[in-house]
Amino acid sequence: MSDSEAIKTKTDYLRDVTSQLKEMRHYAQTNTEALSGHWLAFDAGEYKDKEYAARFDTLINKQGQLLDEIDQVIQDLEIAINHSEQES
């Protein structure tokens, strides 16, 4: 491992984590949209099945909660990054 890889400031680490979370958030949003499409097919579309529609609705709600939590962590990390940069 080179010296540049071994020595990372906390701010650099926070930036890396924030970047990874933003990528995860993007994929989570895409997954939510796919779940919504499936829910629609079972709720009012060609496969009308209220049981599956309800199950997809539950998944959509959980995925929405995950998106909200990821957004909150990203915001908190960005605040920490700003504070760290101001202290330097």
Residue in the structure block whose two tokens are 């940069």: 85
- Indicate the helix (H) or strand (E) that contains 48: none
pLDDT computed for residue 88 by the predictor: 75
- In tens, the pLDDT along 13-60 reads 999 999 999 999 999 999 999 999 999 999 999 999 999 999 999 999
pLDDT computed for residue 36 by the predictor: 97
Q: Where are the domains of the chain?
A: 10-87
pLDDT computed for residue 19 by the predictor: 98
Residue 58 and residue 82 in contact, taking contact as beta carbons nearer than 8 Å: no
pLDDT computed for residue 29 by the predictor: 96
Q: What is the pTM of this model?
A: 0.85
Whether pLDDT at 3 is above 70: no
Residue in the structure block whose two tokens are 């998944």: 59
